[in-house]
Amino acid sequence: MKLMNDKSNLSIVKYDHLIELQIDRAHDNYIEEFLCNTKTYLQNNIFFDVHYEALKRVTHNFTRDDTRINSTK
């Protein structure tokens, strides 16, 4: 399963009360799940702990549009 190429019409998962997310030892697919605004909606002011190199891979060196909305929160 390659999430980066998945364009399925699925409901967006909302985490309204999440204040901290630590996925520093997770596969890139899980990191992508939380960064893609088409898959997950995160409120503002969330502490997001992830390895920098994994973040660069998932966001295509911070140029991938669909990861920008949740990344900037």
pLDDT higher than 80, residue 9: no
| 38 contacts 12 by C-beta, under 8 angstroms | yes
What span, in angstroms and rounded, lies between the C-alpha atoms of 10 and 1?
Answer: 15
**Which domain range does residue 27 map to?**
14-68
pLDDT higher than 50, residue 56: yes
Provide the domain count of the chain. 1
Structural domain contains residue 5: no
Structural domain contains residue 51: yes
pLDDT digits (tens, 9 = 90+) for 19-38: 998 988 889 998 988 888 77
pTM (two decimals): 0.66
CA 55 to chain centre: 9
| 40 contacts 34 by C-beta, under 8 angstroms | yes
| Higher-scoring residue by pLDDT: 67, 7 | 67
- pLDDT for 1 equals 39
